[in-house]
Every structure is written in structure tokens, then in C-alpha cells.
Amino acid sequence: MRALTRSFLLFAAILLVAELAARFAFVRTMEGRFDYGYHPTAGFVETSDGQIELQRSGGRRFFPQTFAKERPAGVYRVIVIGDSVARGKDVPLSYTGQLEKKLRDQGIQAECINMALPGFGARRKDLVLQQAMKYQPSLIVLHVGFSNEYEDEREWKRRDDFNSPHPKNWLMHSLVMRQFYEMKTEKIYWQWLPNSVRDQSGISDANMEMQASEDETIQREWQARLEKVTQDGLQRLRAAQIPTVLVLQASNTRKPDGQGGIVLDDELLNTWTAPLESDLVARVRMKEAIPATQVQQLYSDTNHVRPEGHRLIAAQILRTLQQKGWLPAK
């Protein structure tokens, strides 16, 4: 019994030291760690020399990029906000990087910043948008889709659970215990778990997403939220007089005739975004940027496009900017 008591006290002491270290020595790196993308500034790090560094933290897996907080004179700054489709494989191959190249080829001193994040739905993209507006963008490109609302809802609930006063969550108020929890969810020690545990975790999450996708009430709620959040964001951008291009996601689906053909579908997005066009809001439809005859070659799955697809989207954005007269004089 005495040995057991000593072991317990030693374990408790180790946990206490680890907790103090987490709260005082690593407090900056822990910012937003358990907000799952809902922390307003996680991933945005301002340096002492006035630079902004995009970092992978707080549930935001930004591509590492650095830019001046104050937009330099003469620079045409474009900030792209979206999900994994807009993010692409890397910055140069995404339509962010390819748009920058096209603008510079035309003699424009362009700076295009990729703030797209995998798994982000309307609410979390809107938080990124609010932060991005602080960096004096000349143009915002907002990628609009409906494939990540489940992830937004799931991470919102996880965030609430960690901040709940319920006794079942008391241990989660410890940063050390939260980190142990995250090691499981991020599969850091996944390979040492039995296959039955790993399979059940993946099946459970997939089943929940499937159930949500088949629940018409949930889908209507999420659709209404997507529309409202997008419209609220556009109102803020209009008040700041920031031109905005909405890139509408198009998913490839089989033709209903059963002949095995592929078509691009964005009808729901196209319908409710059409009235949003104005002197400060333009739209680019992936459905129009991607040739119907090249869908199978340019799409890597239902939603994501390969680098050549990103190039075509960038070209369509450029044409739209030229038509709207939004490009700066050379």
C-alpha cells in the first residue's frame, strides 16, 4: 500500500510539473490548440518586425507563408479563403499560386496568399475571413462549397465539450490531459492500438457523417447557415469596400441516364449565389472553368482538382477580374 501511495504521488507530481510547463513555457504554441479552428487568431503569428507568419496551429493547417502586416505600396494583395479544394497540394500549384504567376506575367506586382484550410466549412472559413480583412487585401477570393459542414459541426461540439463545466470534462481542463486526448484523435500512437479499435473509430465517424447527410432537416439547417454566413461575410467586405470573387465548388457526378458519363454539378450553389453578384461581388463557377470533356482527367476525386484544374480556375478568375475592371493600372 505504501509503495502504491508513493507511485501515485510521484505520478501526480509529474503531471503537475508537466501541466505547469504546458501553461507557462509553451503557452504561445498552445494558443487555440483545443478550439479546433474556432480560435479567432490561431495560426496567425505577428513577428516583431511587422510580418505575419501563417503556421500550422490551433486546428489550422496553413501552408507556411509570410507576408507584411501592412500591405506594401503598389502591391496587389489577393487572399484566398476556402477548404481543401482551394488549398491544393501546395501554394505554387494551387489556383492561388497560379493566379499570382498570371498576374505577375501581366506586369502586376501581385501577392497572392493561400489561407484555404482542409475540412473547413462556412463558420470556420468566416473566422479566417475576419482575420484576413485586417491585412489590407486588395481582393478576397472565397471558395464556396457545402462538403464540410459536418466537420464544422463536429469540431464545434468538441470545442464546447472541452469548455463545458460538466464533471465528465473536468480532466480536459488540464492541457496535459487534452494533449493525450489529441494524440489519440490525431493518430500519433494509432499504430499501437488494436485494429478493432482503429476500425471502430473510423466507422463511427463515417456513420455519423452519413446519417447527417441523409437527414433532410440537418441538411436544410446547414444550407441555411452556409447562406447566412456567406452573406454576412459579404456585407462586411462591402462595408470595407473590398472586391470579392466567389469560386463555386462543382462536384462531378454520374449522369442520371446510366450511360457512365460524368457531369459537374453546382446548381444549388449557383441558384442562391446568383443574386449576390454586384459591383463588388463576382462569381467564378468551376463548372464553367473545367471543360466537360476533361472532367475525368482534371478531377482526382468527387471534389478535388489536379494542378491543371487549378490553372484553369486561376485563368477564369483572371478573366473575371479583367471584365470587372478590378485590376490595378500597370
Nearest to 80 by CA among 40, 110, 105: 110
Q: Does position 310 have pLDDT exceeding 70, yes or no? A: yes
Q: Does position 77 have pLDDT exceeding 50, yes or no? A: yes
Average pLDDT over residues 259-277: 88
Rg (CA), the chain: 23
Which residues face 80 on adjacent strands?
114, 141
Q: Which has more pLDDT, 187 or 310?
A: 310
Average pLDDT over residues 207-216: 74
Which residues face 56 on adjacent strands?
61
At residue 202, the pLDDT reads 46
Q: Does position 105 have pLDDT exceeding 90, yes or no? A: yes
At residue 35, the pLDDT reads 86
**Domain extent listing, the chain:** 81-145+217-324
Phi, psi of 38 (to 5 degrees): -100, 0
Over the stretch 172-193, which tens digit does the pLDDT of each residue have? 666 666 666 655 544 444 444 5
Nearest to 302 by CA among 264, 255, 258: 264
Mean pLDDT for the chain? 85
> Residue 303: pLDDT band by 50, 70, 90 thresholds?
very high
Query: Left, alpha or beta for 53 (phi > 0: left; psi -120 to 50: alpha)?
Result: beta
Over the stretch 136-178, which tens digit does the pLDDT of each residue have? 999 999 999 999 999 999 899 888 877 766 666 666 666 666 6
Q: Does position 200 have pLDDT exceeding 60, yes or no? A: no
In the chain, % of residues over pLDDT 70: 75
At residue 187, the pLDDT reads 43
- What single-letter amino acid sits at 247? V
Q: Which has more pLDDT, 218 or 7?
A: 218
Nearest to 125 by CA among 87, 94, 171, 164: 87
CATH no., domain 81-145+217-324 = 3.40.50.1110
pTM, two decimals, is 0.84
Q: Does position 282 have pLDDT exceeding 70, yes or no? A: yes
Lowest mean pLDDT among 74-78, 195-199, 226-230: 195-199
